[in-house]
Amino acid sequence: MEISCYHRPRSLEEAYDLVVGQGAYPLAGGAWTLISRKNLSSAADLSDLGLRYIKIEGEYIALGAMATARDLETSSLLAEAFGPLFSQALRGIAGIQIRTIVTAGGSVAGRYGFSELLVVLLALDASIVFYKDRTQCLASYLNAAPGAPFLIEKIIIPRNAKATYQCMRQTANDFPILSICAARTSAGWRISVGARPQAAALCPQAGSFLNSLENPGEDGSKRAGLIAAQELSFGDDLRASAEYRRSICPVLVARAIRELCL
Ligand SMILES: Cc1cc2nc3c(=O)[nH]c(=O)nc-3n(C[C@H](O)[C@H](O)[C@H](O)COP(=O)(O)OP(=O)(O)OC[C@H]3O[C@@H](n4cnc5c(N)ncnc54)[C@H](O)[C@@H]3O)c2cc1C
C-alpha cells in the first residue's frame, strides 16, 4: 500500500479538519486497510489523539476510538462491569498480534459483518460519539447508508446491562460463522446476531417475546431462538450457507439466554 500524503494530527480538531474538512482517510490500526486498500492519496493517522482509553463516564463506560481489541479483551474495568463478555467475544479475533492493532473505532467505522465487537456493542445498546458534535446509537448507525466523512471519538456503553456471547467458527481464530449476544438492559432484552454474514442486527421480536416473560426458562429460551432465526435474513459465503446459519441461530440464541439467566 502507498500513502501519498501522510498526516499525524496532534489534536482532535486538527484530525477533524483533515478527515471531515479535507477528505483524508482516517487511519487507526490499519489492520484491514493494509490488506484491502492499495493506495491512499491522503491519510490521517489517529495515533496521537489520546483516544486509547477505557474509562467510566457517569452512567457509561467510554471506549476511546483507539482502544485496541486486546485492551478491551484484558480490561479489568470491562470485566467488572460485564463479566467475561468482552474477553470471550474478542479472543477469537485472529491472533494476539492482530488484536493489539485493531481498534474499537476502526471496527465500528468499518461495519464489518464478521465483527464480534459490533455484535456485543449492539446488544449493549452502545452509542457512537462523533467528533465534534453528534452522538448516534449504534443500531441507527448500522441501519443508515454510509454518508459523509466522519471522525469517531469514542463509543459509550450503558453500565447497567448484563450480557453473554456465543459463536460458531470452523476453527478457533477464523472469522465467525455466526455470533450472538444476548443482553438484559434497563430497557429490556436485546438479542443481536452477527456474521449472517451481513453486519450485526437486532432481533426486536425475540426481545419483545422475552420481555413478556418473567423468566424465559428452557422453553422460553428455545422459543426466542426460533423467533430470532425467523425475523433475520441470512446469506451464503465461503464458510457456511444461509440455511446452515438459520439452523444454528436458535441454538446459539437459546444458549446465550440460558447462560444469562443462570
Ligand atoms: C487477518 C485478519 C483477521 C481478522 N479477523 C477478525 C475477526 O475474525 N473478527 C473481527 O471482529 N475482526 C477481525 N479482524 C480485524 C478487523 O478487520 C478490524 O477490527 C478492523 O479492520 C479495524 O481495524 P483497525 O482498527 O486497524 O482500522 P483501520 O484498518 O485503520 O480502519 C478501518 C476503517 O475504519 C475507518 N476508521 C478507523 N478509525 C476511525 C475513526 N476513529 N473514525 C472514523 N473512521 C475510522 C478507516 O478509515 C477504515 O475505513 C481481522 C483483521 C485481520 C488483519
Domain boundaries, the chain: 2-45, 54-158, 162-261
CATH superfamily label, 162-261: CO dehydrogenase flavoprotein, C-terminal domain (3.30.390.50)
Distance CA 251, CA 256 (A): 9
What pLDDT does residue 215 have? 92
Q: For atom 21 of ligand 1, which residue has the closest CA? A: 32
Query: Cell numbers 474499537 correspond to what residue?
Result: 104
Sheet strands side by side (includes 188-194)? 162-168, 178-185, 188-194, 201-202
The tens-digit pLDDT sequence of the chain (262 residues) is 889 999 999 999 999 999 999 999 999 999 988 887 678 999 999 999 999 999 999 999 999 999 999 999 999 999 999 999 999 999 999 999 999 999 999 999 999 999 999 999 999 999 999 999 899 999 999 999 988 999 999 999 999 899 999 999 999 999 999 999 999 999 999 999 999 999 999 999 999 999 999 999 999 999 999 999 999 999 999 999 999 999 999 999 999 999 999 7
What pLDDT does residue 11 have? 98
What pLDDT does residue 32 have? 87
CA of 211 to the centre of ligand 1 (A): 34
Instruction: Assess whether the C-beta atom of 96 lies below 6 angstroms from ligand 1.
Output: no
Does domain 54-158 match CATH 1.20.120.420?
Answer: no
Helix (H, G, I), strand (E, B) or coil at 148: coil
What pLDDT does residue 37 have? 67
Instruction: Assess whether the C-beta atom of 194 lies below 6 angstroms from ligand 1.
Output: no
Q: Are 211 and 189 in contact (CB under 8 A)?
A: yes
Which ligand 1 atom minimizes the distance to the CA of 108?
34
Q: Are 62 and 53 in contact (CB under 8 A)?
A: yes
CA of 27 to the centre of ligand 1 (A): 9
